[in-house]
Structure 1
Amino acid sequence: MRYSVLPIVFGLAIGVSACTQTQIQPMSKDTFKVATHAAPACGPSGARNVAFKSAAIEVIRKGGDKFVILGDQTDSGVSGDIFTGFHQNYSQGMVVRMIAEGSAEAKSALSARETLGADWKNAVAKGAPTTCS
C-alpha cells in the first residue's frame, strides 16, 4: 500500500506556522494581562518570548512606550490520546502595567519600541506573533 507524504507535510506546515495563540485581557486603564499558549516545538522560552513581544505590541497599540511586568506565570500541560500521541504544551501569563513618560518609574521601565527593535512599526501592524521563531 502506498501512502502520500503530502498530507503529512501539509499538516506539519500548518502546525508549525501557527504554533502560538495570545489573548489580551484588560485589567484597568493602564494594566492588562497577556496569556500565550504555545505548541511543543516552541518550548517554555518560545512561549515566554511571544508573550513578551505581544506585551510590547499591546503597549504601543494603547499609545504608550514604557512598561513593567508586574507578574509572570509559566505553566505546561499534556494533551492528546493514545491514538494521536501525547504532546506537551506551554503557557505564559504576564501582567503588564503601562508607565507614563516623564514619571519617576519611566527611568527603569522597559521600552516597547526597543523591545521590538528597529522594525517595531511592522511588528505592531502584524500583531501578536503566531510563531515562536
Structure 2
Amino acid sequence: MKFIHVPAAIALFGLVACAETAVQPMSKDTFKIDTRTDSDCGAVAARNIAFKAAAIEVIRKGGDKFIITGDNTDSDFWGGTYTQGMVVKMIPDKSPEARNALSARETLGSDWQNVVAKGVPQMCV
C-alpha cells in the first residue's frame, strides 16, 4: 500500500491556500490584521496581503482613510511561515489626520470595488 503525504496531496489538488488573514476589532475605529503565509510566499507577500486586507476592511467598515499605528513581522525558525501583523486606525475624512492618512480606495487601485468584492487574497501573487 502506498501512502501520499497529506499536505502534498492537498497541494497537488489546489486545496491549500498559501495565505490566511484574520481581522480582530480593537475599538470602534481600530482593528488588527494578522496574516500568515507559507514559505513559498515569503515575508514580502505577507506584508502586501496584510496591507491589502487593511484597505479592504476599512472600506467594508464604511471608511476610506487609514493609518498603520503598529506593525510586526515574524517568521518561524525554519522559515516555513511568515507572519505580518498590523494595527489599523480608521481616520474620519474631515479630521486633521486625514491629510496624512492613506486612502483605501487608492491603495487598492481603480478596480477597488472588485477587489473588495473578492476579499482578501488567499494566494500570494
Q: Does 1:53 align with 2:52?
A: yes
* Aligned counterparts of 2:123 and 2:70: Cα–Cα separation in 1: 23
* Aligned counterparts of 2:120 and 2:62: Cα–Cα separation in 1: 16
Answer with 1 or 2: which has the greater Rg. Answer: 1
Q: Does 1:106 align with 2:98?
A: yes
Q: Percent of aligned positions with the same letter in both sequences?
A: 59
Give the equivalent residue in structure 2 for 1:81.
Answer: none
Structure 1 residue runs without a partner (length 5+): 1-7, 79-85
* Aligned counterparts of 2:106 and 2:89: Cα–Cα separation in 1: 17
1:9 CA drift (Å): 8.1
1:32-111 equivalent positions in 2, closer than 5 A? 32-78=31-77, 88-111=80-103
Moved over 6 A (4+): none
Give per-residue Cα distances to partners, 1:3-23, cap 9 Å, x unaligned.
Answer: xxxxx68724626x6110000
Give the equivalent residue in structure 2 for 1:117.
Answer: 109
Equivalent residue of 1:41, what SS?
coil
* Aligned counterparts of 1:91 and 1:13: Cα–Cα separation in 2: 25
Q: CA 1:13–1:45 in 2, change beyond 3 Å: closer, same or farther? A: farther
The AA in structure 2 aligned to 1:131 is M
CA RMSD of aligned residues (A): 2.3
- Tell me the TM-score normalized by structure 1: 0.83
Residue correspondences, number: 122
